Amino acid sequence: MSGKAIGISMNFGYPGNYARTPDDIVASRMLNDASAAVPFGAAVCIKDDNTYTAVGAATTAADVCGIALRVVKQAISYNEQNYTEYQPGAYMSVLERGAATVVCNVGTPKANGKVYVRIKANTSIANGVVGGFEAAADGANTIEIPNMRWTNGSMDANRICEVTLLTRAAA
């Protein structure tokens, strides 16, 4: 009996997973009470009061400090088990240096290519998600993150890719 295989490559995982652990720096801070929820694998900003916040229209590249990591935590109520995001007022883990898996919503990543984060919605780009990562610029609707690069340019069928934060942007 001959062997069989389904598909030609494995999926790369879920948004917000660690991709390579030896060089990671992860910090935990509270998600600001006034912030929107932050999905796993989304870009995160740091505020002057030592809390994190979601990306928004006023975000600059200097504000982005990392990627919301997908971590297993204890559910404190039945309803909270369905969220794939951090809720305001909760502590969250953020990758501030290292590699993680994220969704590339727009464009095709290239090895060592520029990484953009969407800060404003654009109705002509249906897949654009505010706070999400993209491989193509969209004028004033996206910002380039200078200390982040696409790791290898590979993308699975779910648009999961690997990005690397080259330096730590926040202390």
Q: Per-residue pLDDT tens, the chain, 171 aa: give them.
A: 455 556 666 778 888 888 877 788 999 999 999 999 999 999 999 999 999 999 999 999 999 999 999 887 666 655 655 668 899 999 999 999 999 999 999 999 999 999 999 999 999 999 999 999 999 999 999 999 999 999 998 999 899 999 999 988 766
The residue type found at 20 is: R
For domain 18-165, the CATH architecture is Beta Barrel (2.40)
Q: Is 68:84 a contact under the CB 8 Å cutoff?
A: no
Q: pTM for this structure?
A: 0.87
Query: How confident is the model at residue 12, as a pLDDT?
Result: 81
Structure tokens at 133: 């990562």
Q: Is 59:133 a contact under the CB 8 Å cutoff?
A: no
Query: How confident is the model at residue 168, as a pLDDT?
Result: 84
* Cα 61 off chain centre by: 14
3-class secondary structure, 91: strand
The 3-state DSSP composition of the chain as helix, strand, coil percent (nearest 5) reads 5, 40, 55
The structural domains of the chain, with segments of one domain joined by +, span: 18-165
Helices (H) and strands (E) in the chain, counts: 0, 11
